[in-house]
Amino acid sequence: MRQIILDTETTGLEPSQGHRVIEIGCVEVVNRTLTGRNLHLYLKPDRDSDPEALAVHGLTTAFLADKPKFDAIADEFLDFVADAELIIHNASFDTKFLNAELARIGRGTLDKHCGKITDSLMHARLLHPGKRNSLDSLCDRYGISNAHRTLHGALLDSELLAEVWLAMTRGQDALLIEPEETSAGAGDLVVGGFDASVLRVVSASAHESAAHDSYLKDLDKAAGGNCVWRTIEPKAEAMESAPA
């Protein structure tokens, strides 16, 4: 599975008012592993940034004066994101700007060139309702250092978001196994046609138990509360201590 963590910086808030993309940062993730293959582009917008935007990214008109225009890098950008899932924080903002740039050169819309677009902000809001879910807030929640982020930068923000996304989507869906209904006796556990009662039970050592508890604490922090295993563990302990 190939994913591209993407961010942009712009001259302002609305492409309908003539604002343009001035920086694109892309970080490649394949099978949940950072590959080190990134794309970082500065663009000449042929206009000044709004003062508010300049205060956020610090990319001056003078700095951007010798950079290529979007049409000159469009093929390189589209080749990099081709068929991948794009992970974008507040995706509606970045996509409206990239769609405006693509429309100027007759290249359609971004969703026609990639596999799909996923909004990491919407995902974070589902996981952490009622909490702040800005990139800085998520970095703090998942223990990811952003001390070097004094200004917004498309590549830097994409690198931080990549770490946040991997932490935020660390799955727990394999912890529960539902036994199938079979003709086995009521006390037998049969999973997928296999009689689990024949398995040898090996208790965890003290070192392994401590490592397990440390890992659960990390999961608790990532989940912003008790992870799923915390609700299962007491039930499992009760079953083990119940008389046969």
Q: What phi and psi, each to the nearest 5 degrees, are found at residue 213?
A: -65, -40
Residue 49 contacts residue 11 (beta carbons within 8 Å) = yes
Which of 82, 102, 111 is CA-nearest to residue 3? 82
Residues with active-site annotation: 152
Longest dimension (CA), the chain: 78
Q: If you search the block for the tokens 């008012």, which residue do you land on?
A: 17
User: Which residues 6+ apart lie within 8 Å of 19 measured at CB?
Assistant: 10, 11, 12, 13, 45, 47, 50, 53, 97
